[in-house]
Structure 1
């Protein structure tokens, strides 16, 4: 007697016990599947993967909203397959995996092409854009959204490319902060970020200085103040990845990581994220770290503007 449905029921029951809910249908090919945990059609905070066609069926699931994550293994008795049945089953599993990979690749490419449409359809960046005037920097390689989606109206567009120069994503920079995913921010990323970047200025001397910053305004301020080319890695988590690809392309360059000084309030146990990430990246890429000398949370855009005000 097959225990296929017993295993599925056991997996669903484990999900219900941990998350309070489970999908009616369970995909057993191992594909990462998202589902709602609050009953709303647009919610995708729940996720699971289930591998049923194994010697011991297993899976894992969780809820991004609550942080719950759990693994599951079947304890039900299992009918063993003949060698021929096992081979057939494995071919089906591999075919399902290949199809899942094909679909995921096609979805990523469709999203990338949509972003390329936004980029190519963008207008020249308005130099009086609220973000640029607030940060007191120019528009280097930026455009401005000109599409039909009113949500992006007025956003600056910063392209993200890989080390080969292939377009991989966009950062939308809004005139003013807005509520996005539960927090106030004036930027949002669409597409691939990991290892991708924007740059200001050309590398004319492969052994010269290349600056690396987190954000656009910091990179623009550094370029305007010192003149050397700057690579914008988007955030602290991407500094080392970007540094590594730049180091590989320019092995003799002097890499300077311009850290954000994320000083915390006295007594806080939170780390100085910007400084620590820059130090890790510099060690990995044989670079240097420059940090704004300040008593409060600040980046180089902040301190350069403060210095200009003092003149």
Structure 2
């Protein structure tokens, strides 16, 4: 075994007792070369043990931890492997050119590479297991994410289901394997800095934003990008955390969802275009890159912030149409189709997927009427001459009513309509007095993003009223209503 000390003169080693001075000097030179190579990659071992075994060591970034590893061989061909777990940097150094090696030396080099590969894989497995345990501990200790988190606010996205926040304010995004097991975490700090758990496995990892099951799957790089895609389309999104990981996740998604439409949403930069194209080929999917009519950006969150969710939605839908094409049916095919009836939320005035507007002068009871409709739909009951065929999940968004007045009116309605207790859970309310912040402006992307997480599973939304909940633009201009619509 040969060693080299980092500081001061090297001590006399066993090597000096058994080898000529010239050979000893050559080996010490190699050890110093190895030390320089490790230093260039951020590793700072106290001494280099050139025994062919894997050794952990500190790094420049974490001098008290052991987030680096190396394997060193001095016998010709002298070989060094290193890995810096903090930067995910690893590589191999050989002191001789391969073409200068004899047949025996080349055989020894191949055997050495096999040994390094085996030890490296064993070390990776150990580190992945340790990081997964740490990830579970941090995840269990974290809390529900604040909707007002600085990173989310800057990106114009809500605190979607499935993410958490640590006590120091760091966002935690779970990195899941194909079986939905937690293998690592991505930390996003309030200033936007992103870090993964040291030693955690990211390859083939993904975070999934669940969308409507009948809609396509989008695959993208970053969490904020995925949130914008989901908000604009309602699609399920697989976040891969890096461009290099996109092809692996795309292939895995295609294997799991053989008949599903998959859209690869790449970043519009060199690596995004390259890996996005590779992912599209592996998944037999369509690649779409964001295009900007104004401003500069690279991903779909940039497009969301610069041009709005409608621009994101339009480009995604165009990509989907390009993949599948428009469908034209001849009259005989169309007439022979079994098209299910859309049905009603409240028959015969409110069809499923319909829009209704209640208009009346101020002070004649619009809120009381709207509440009556909401209670009827939520309970599967009747109001006026209209009946709800079955109970439906309803969200009532109130923009101006005092909470006490709303409570009084709703209590009277529930008592007068004989609502069954189990139906009370079907109606949820957002009312200004009980919010930690101002009511969202639903004519803006940020306002829509605030309400989006509350729409999961909701069949009907009541907005009371348009004037107080949609405050951007001019009320009498049709263009001002496009974002809201």
TM-score computed with the length of structure 1 as normaliser: 0.70
Q: CA deviation at 1:63?
A: 9.6
Partner in structure 2 of residue 170 of structure 1: 185
SS at match of 1:247: helix
SS at match of 1:256: strand
Select the residue among 199, 203, 207 that pairs with 1:194.
203
Contact 2:220 2:265 in 1 (8 A): yes
Give the Cα–Cα distance (whole angstroms) in 2 for the partners of residues 44 and 292 of structure 1. Answer: 41
Instruction: Call closer, same or farther: CA 1:32–1:283 in 2, change over 3 Å.
Output: farther
Q: Summarize deviations over 1:282-309 as a string: whole Å, max 9, x none.
A: 1122111111112733211111232336
Partner in structure 1 of residue 235 of structure 2: 228
Give the Cα–Cα distance (whole angstroms) in 1 for the partners of residues 174 and 280 of structure 2. Answer: 24
Instruction: Call closer, same or farther: CA 1:283–1:70 in 2, change over 3 Å.
Output: same
Give the Cα–Cα distance (whole angstroms) in 2 for the partners of residues 101 and 273 of structure 1. Answer: 27
Are residue 258 (structure 1) and residue 231 (structure 2) matched?
no
SS at match of 1:176: coil
Partner in structure 2 of residue 246 of structure 1: 253
Are residue 276 (structure 1) and residue 274 (structure 2) matched?
yes
Q: Summarize deviations over 1:73-93 as a string: whole Å, max 9, x none.
A: 6xxxxxxxxxxxxxxxx9xx9
Higher share of residues assigned strand: 1
Q: Summarize deviations over 1:189-212 as a string: whole Å, max 9, x none.
A: 11211100100015734xx51100
Are residue 127 (structure 1) and residue 136 (structure 2) matched?
no
Instruction: Call closer, same or farther: CA 1:203–1:50 in 2, change over 3 Å.
Output: farther
Q: Summarize deviations over 1:84-108 as a string: whole Å, max 9, x none.
A: xxxxxx9xx99x9989876764443
Partner in structure 2 of residue 16 of structure 1: 32
Partner in structure 2 of residue 79 of structure 1: none
Are residue 72 (structure 1) and residue 95 (structure 2) matched?
yes
Partner in structure 2 of residue 76 of structure 1: none
Contact 2:211 2:234 in 1 (8 A): no
Instruction: Call closer, same or farther: CA 1:108–1:292 in 2, change over 3 Å.
Output: closer
Q: What are the ranges of 5 or more consecutive residues in structure 1 without an aligned counterpart?
A: 74-89, 147-152, 178-185, 263-271
Are residue 204 (structure 1) and residue 213 (structure 2) matched?
yes
Instruction: Call closer, same or farther: CA 1:57–1:142 in 2, change over 3 Å.
Output: same
Give the Cα–Cα distance (whole angstroms) in 2 for the partners of residues 220 and 171 of structure 1. Answer: 15
Higher share of residues assigned helix: 2
Q: Summarize deviations over 1:28-75 as a string: whole Å, max 9, x none.
A: 13426556699x9559898642346x8x564125797999963036xx
Instruction: Call closer, same or farther: CA 1:202–1:163 in 2, change over 3 Å.
Output: farther
Q: CA deviation at 1:27?
A: 3.8
Partner in structure 1 of residue 172 of structure 2: 157
Give the Cα–Cα distance (whole angstroms) in 2 for the partners of residues 60 and 99 of structure 1. Answer: 13
SS at match of 2:95: strand
Are residue 28 (structure 1) and residue 26 (structure 2) matched?
no
Aligned residues: 263
Provide the alpha-carbon RMSD of the alignment.
Answer: 4.0
Give the Cα–Cα distance (whole angstroms) in 1 for the partners of residues 132 and 92 of structure 2. Answer: 30
Q: Summarize deviations over 1:197-256 as a string: whole Å, max 9, x none.
A: 100015734xx5110011111111111111110000011111111111111111222221
Contact 1:115 1:169 in 2 (8 A): yes
Instruction: With a CA cutoff of 8 Å and minimum separation of 6, indicate the structure with the bigger relative contact order.
Output: 1
Give the Cα–Cα distance (whole angstroms) in 2 for the partners of residues 136 and 110 of structure 1. Answer: 35
Are residue 219 (structure 1) and residue 226 (structure 2) matched?
yes
Partner in structure 2 of residue 265 of structure 1: none
Partner in structure 2 of residue 142 of structure 1: 163
- The equivalences for 1:31-110 within 5 A come to 31=54, 34=57, 41=63, 48-51=70-73, 58-60=78-80, 70-72=93-95, 105-110=125-130
SS at match of 1:60: strand
Partner in structure 2 of residue 83 of structure 1: none
Contact 1:37 1:44 in 2 (8 A): no
Give the Cα–Cα distance (whole angstroms) in 2 for the partners of residues 25 and 128 of structure 1. Answer: 49
Contact 1:37 1:43 in 2 (8 A): no
Choose 163-172 or 18-27, whichever is displaced more.
Answer: 18-27
Give the Cα–Cα distance (whole angstroms) in 1 for the partners of residues 68 and 127 of structure 2. Answer: 20
Instruction: Call closer, same or farther: CA 1:12–1:63 in 2, change over 3 Å.
Output: farther
Q: CA deviation at 1:124?
A: 0.4
